[in-house]
């Protein structure tokens, strides 16, 4: 394996499915020096986010209050990637973009996680979303329907063109 920019990085993954965390660990285990902290619930994930400095935080949406954790990660300046199966919707994708996530990856594409994480570390927010849509635009159209962007065309045009620059939204309880 060629040397990865993920070498010697510290990542946090929060998902309520142990098998997903194990699969993620398997995809990352050959990267020299990479530390992968894991949490199975919101409370542990939040504690870890507040306790360590992370190069990337990987968050499930459902089951672990992923958007709340995204808000905490972004507030601390940690790049975050949303990894989801059950929340694979245009609304969850948009909310992820608006709250400052750097990528949105369906769990069924987890075999590509290393390249997505490398992109997060090597591209800025706008270019990162361009890469996501270059890789997954067809997947999103198949999953959401061919006209899924139609109702919010201006927003998605800005995201896909790299013009969208989010001002982080702070979630309120």
* CATH number of the CATH domain containing 24: 3.40.50.2300
Q: Report the pLDDT value the prediction gives residue 60, as an integer from 0 to 100.
A: 97
Name the band, by pLDDT with cuts 50, 70 and 90, for residue 10: very high
Q: Would you say residue 5 lies in a domain?
A: no
As a whole number of angstroms, the distance between CA 30 and CA 74 comes to 27
Q: Report the pLDDT value the prediction gives residue 171, as an integer from 0 to 100.
A: 56
Q: H/E/C letters for each residue in the chain?
A: CCCCCCCCCEEEEECCCHHHHHHHHHHHCCCCCCEEEEECCHHHHHHHHHHCCCCEEEECCCCCCHHHHHHHHHHCCCCEEEEECCCCCHHHHHHHHHCCCCEEEEHHHHHHHHHHHHHHHHCCHHHHHHHHHHHHHHHHHHHHCCCCCHHHHHHHHHHHHCCCCCCCCCCCC
Q: Would you say residue 3 lies in a domain?
A: no
* Mean confidence (pLDDT) of the chain: 92
Q: Would you say residue 167 lies in a domain?
A: no
pTM for this prediction: 0.92
CB 79 within 8 A of CB 91: no
Q: Would you say residue 168 lies in a domain?
A: no
pLDDT above 90 (res 141): yes
Q: Would you say residue 23 lies in a domain?
A: yes
Could you list the residue range(s) of the whole structural domain that residue 108 is in? 10-161
Q: Would you say residue 4 lies in a domain?
A: no
Structural domain total, the chain = 1
Q: Would you say residue 134 lies in a domain?
A: yes
CB 149 within 8 A of CB 156: yes
Average pLDDT over residues 104-116: 94
Name the band, by pLDDT with cuts 50, 70 and 90, for residue 168: low
pLDDT above 80 (res 31): yes
Q: Would you say residue 173 lies in a domain?
A: no
């Amino acid at each position: 394996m060629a040397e990865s920019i993920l070498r010697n990085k510290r990542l946090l993954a929060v998902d309520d499915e142990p098998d997903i965390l194990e699969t993620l660990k398997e995809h990352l285990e050959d990267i020299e020096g990479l530390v992968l902290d894991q949490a199975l619930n919101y409370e542990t994930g939040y504690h870890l986010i507040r306790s360590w400095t992370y190069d990337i935080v990987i968050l499930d949406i459902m089951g672990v209050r992923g958007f709340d954790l995204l808000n905490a990660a972004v507030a601390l300046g940690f790049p975050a990637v949303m990894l989801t199966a059950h929340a694979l919707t245009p609304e969850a994708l948009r909310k992820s973009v608006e709250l400052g996530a750097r990528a949105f990856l369906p769990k069924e594409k987890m075999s590509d996680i290393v390249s997505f994480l490398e992109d997060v570390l090597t591209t800025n927010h706008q270019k990162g979303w361009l890469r996501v849509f270059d890789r997954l635009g067809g997947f999103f159209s198949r999953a959401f329907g061919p006209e899924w962007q139609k109702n919010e065309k201006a927003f998605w045009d800005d995201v896909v063109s790299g013009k969208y620059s989010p001002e982080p939204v702070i979630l309120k309880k």
